[in-house]
Each structure stands twice: as structure tokens, then as C-alpha cells.
Amino acid sequence: MLTTHRLISAPLIAALALLTTPLPLAAKRAAIEAEHGMVVSVHELASQAGVEILQKGGNAVDAAVATGLALTVVYPFAGNIGGGGFMMIHLAGATPGTGRDIAIDYRETAPASATRDMYVGQDGKLRQGAGSSTVGWQASGVPGSVAGFALAMQKYGSGKVTWAQVVEPARRLAAEGHIVSQATAASFHTFAKLLAPFADSQKIYLKQGTFWKAGEHWVQADLGATMARLQKNGPREFYEGETAQKIAAAMSAHGGNITLADLKNYQAVERTPLRGKYRGYEIVLMPPPSSGSIAILQMLGMIEPFDVAAMGSNSAAKYHLFAEVMKRAFRDRAEYLGDPAFIQVPVSQLLDPAYIKGRMADFSPNRATPATAIQPGLGKFMARPMAESTETTHFSIVDAAGNAVSNTYTLNGAYGSGVTIPGTGILMNNEMDDFTAQVGTANMFGLIQGEANAIVPGKRPLSSMTPTFVFKNGALVLVTGSPGGPTIINTVFQIITNVIDFNMAVAQAVDAPRIHQQWMPDVISFEHQGLSADTAVALKAKGQTIKERASYEGGYQGDGESIAIDPKTGLRYGAADPRKADSKAIGY
């Protein structure tokens, strides 16, 4: 599909094969091929919803709205209308290089009543459990998903399908029901402790404590009615109609923070994507408040002087280099990034080629640089921000005309705050934990937090969500992204380098083992069976600390639902990530 012009000698290839035996996630498999449109998401029924809209004449944006709404029903782990996210849109031009790229920011915002220390108890410590930034009625930011979908479709949809038509698959799946998958049934058990204290969550997801079983027919009547209201009355119904009234009333009754005014005043924002170059490819990414774009462009810039392909895709040399650039990029990320509406993000300085080169001045191919020795490259600019969730979901879409959507959205934690708004079937986010709940305290994902990401009414929390496009000679060749909190950045980075540096087909690039380093803690995490024993020994000899990922979700990292487009044939190749049991690429 994509080619690289670097040549490696046969003896070197043989030596690398002996020293760095790859441990792939799955046997080599082919991507799903299609001539016209392709939808790749974490659930087959959601992918089908998107294809249904494409076949009715809708474009990639229309299909993205249908897919996102359907995931609300079939993948409540992260699919949502009670959360928010980022959508990247590519509108194809008549010839390569003449298209447009648009970024839609529909991240949640802090309610008007939010305060900087709202989650700090009288003892000066962060509150835990109900009333915290992670669980219960006070954990939610103002949801943005419906507003983001509406903005995208209004401005960039095809005009050939209606809002009611794109809502219909989700309404149907909720009101008429669908079959519970094995993965979904297992997920309910895993998160029962979070969901059980809230009556509607207990009823809908836990079947009053008896639990849904794989193969059962699951109807979500309240959510179906909510979708029907959205279908009939339009997207503002969520923010100003009966649904908004139900959300505000429930919040008021249970000590929550979101009001009718908060809902009415919410606005999705259109932004200008960030662009960068890597080995002749153009990388187009979501700008701040996504932190991933700057970090990925920095990391690509740091590794470009190195012959990465010659190192071998699973070698200690490559993993050492990647861990060191990750460490430096995450150090800058921790210091300088936040909501650009509230802080001045030094984008041009962080992406200046001379600055990026300087970040590698102390790099050694033989020895790890301790995280404590890595300082922010522009000096002390902000205090260290960040909080992050890993339970997010990503989907990619390309239509027959070459338009594309890369969308990542989230409830923050799995099943969000655990709260379902009574009478609506809407599961709410716990996005307030993505702010700095207490300066200088690590959040539940181990990320240090500080003033740049402090809670302010109306502010959007910083995120690693990084929906991404890759172009070659002006032609779109890759649509990708991932969930995974801070690991999103490194997952997307590695998929890109797998394609460009190692000439991997998209399914191979998605399946390949992944590592993660986020500066603090100073550890390389790797996937189950993701490193050969000798590679692990070699990394330790360089001073790297390594740790296998936890068994949660099988010990794997991310979920890179991706599409490649062959620039010669125009064929679309959909690669559903096998790390998720229900993921599916569907084309036509």
C-alpha cells in the first residue's frame, strides 16, 4: 500500500530476525477491502449503522453521526451522548491536495458552578467515591457529543440524508433491542460495583442484579425514547427540550452541578487542525485541547534523523529510541498544554524544528535518560497539568467520494460516572476528573496535575484523544486514532511509524505490539507477549525499567480502528483492532 525507499541488506535483516523475534497479537491477517465506503468501529452494529447511512447517499460525516449514536446503545462502556470528544473531517477535493481538513471540538465543559477546589475535602485531601471527580452526580462535565455531531452534520454533511435518518439506527437498536455480545456481558460484571449504586444503571445494565447474558435480547426503552425525541425535535432537544429538563432535574435532585443554563449554553467549537511532515508524508491532527497532536509531531520530528527501519520493528534499539522520545514529548506535554481558550499554548515554539532537535541533544542510544533529568524545554511555563482516562472509543470512516472522518469520543472512565439519568437511558461522563482536581496530585492514571488544567467554569479539560489523517502527495492514505488515555498518543505514533517506516499493511500496523512511556512514572509498559525475552534484557541493560501491562482488557494497549486508502487503486482497507472482541470493519 505505502512504500519506503530505505534499503536494508539481507544479512542485516537475518540478524535482526534472530535478535528481535516479533511477538504479534494475532497471525497475519488481511484487512477488509472495499471499493466505495468503509466504516471501522469497536462494534459490528455501529459499523453497520454507518454503512447504512453511506448506502442511503450520506457522506462520511453523516455516517459518523449514525455510528457515534449507535455506539451509545451497543457500547455503553464508552459510546455516548452523555460525554464528548473530537472529530476530524477530511473533505476530498477534485484532485489530491485540494481538499479541506476540519477539526470539531465537542469536549465537555465545566459547569458554571464549578470551582477550582470543588473535590477537595475539609481535610485538604481529594474526596473519594460519591461526590468525587470520578463517581456520582458531581463528576460530570456538560456533555458535548450531540452538539458536536449536529455541528459536523449541519456544516459538512451531504445534505442527502436527514438528521432523523442518521438517528434511526440508534433508535432502532435501543427501542427494538439487540443481542448482547459476550464482551458486553462480561463488561457489565466487571463494572457492576460502579453501576450498582445508581437505580437506573442497576436496572438497565445489570438487569436488577441478575445480569445480562451473552445472546440475550436487550431492549433499552428509555434510551430509545430519548433517541426518538432527538429524531423528531432535532439535536437542540438534548440541550433545551424534554431531555435537557430531565438531566437538569435529576442533577438538582441529587446534588449534581449541571443546570439547564449549562446545557443551553454549551457550544461545540470548530478548530484548525495541526499539520506536520514526516519522511515525505503529511500528518494532520486534532489541535489543543488535544495534547496528542503536538506530542506526536514532536516525536516524529525527534526520530526522523534516525534510520528507524534499519533498527527492526521489534528491536531493543527501536524501543529504546521510542521510549526516549516519548519521555521528552510527555515532559513538554505535562508543562505547557491546556485549553487554548484559557491558557496560551506555545504551539509554534514546541513544533519548531530547531527546538525539537535540541530536545534530543542529551539522547544516548546506549543509556536511558532518567525522567527526573528531563526538564521542560522552554523553561517553567505552566505548572504540570493532566488527568486522563483510558476508557474511550475511536472509529474511522471513508466514503465513496474520498471524504473521511476520524472520531474519538469518551465518557472518561468506563461507564463514566456510573450515573444514568432517570427516564432517559443516558449514561453520564465523569469528565471532571480530566481536570486538575488537586494541584500536584497524580490522578487515577498516574498523571501529575497542575494549574494549567485547573477547573474553571466553561473550560474544556485537556485530552490525549488524537484522531489523525496521513497524506502522501496530497492523497489521503491513512485514517487512524485510538482510545487509551495517555497511551493514545503513543498508539497512534506507532501505527504511523509502522506504516511509514516499516511498510506494514494497515492490518499488520494495527496488530503490531505497542509500548508506552509517559515520562512519569519512568517505566516502559508493554503488551502481553509484546517483547521477546532478549529484547527485554537488552532494554534493561540500557537502563530502562519495563513492566508488562496489567491483565485488565487482556493486557493490551489501545484500539486503533483504522482505514488505509491505496493511492493507486483507490481501494479502502479497513483494519478493526483485534484487541476489542466486537470490533468490525464493514465496507461496500
Q: Which residues are catalytic, by number?
A: 392
CA distance 569 to 402: 12
- Please give the grid coordinates belonging to residue 426: 443516558
* Alpha carbon distance 72, 524 (integer Å): 33
| Chain mean position to CA 130 | 26
Whether 458 contacts 114, CB under 8 Å? no
Closest C-alpha among 279, 315, 274, 345 to residue 477: 279
Q: How many CB atoms lie within 10 A of CB 112?
A: 14
Read off the DSSP letter of residue 552. Answer: G
Of 384, 377, 466, 402, the residue nearest 85 (C-alpha): 466
What phi, psi does 584 have (nearest 5°)? -155, 135
**Phi, psi (degrees; rounded to nearest 5) at 43:** -145, 135
Q: How far apart are CA 280 and CA 473, in angstroms?
A: 8
- Round to whole Å and give the CA distance between 299 and 334: 15
Q: Which amino acid is at 107?
A: R
Please give the grid coordinates belonging to residue 28. Answer: 497475519
Pairing relation of β-strands 524-526 and 546-548?
parallel
409: Cβ–Cβ under 8 A, 6 or more apart, which residues? 68, 78, 79, 80, 83, 84, 85, 86, 87, 106, 145, 148, 392, 393, 465
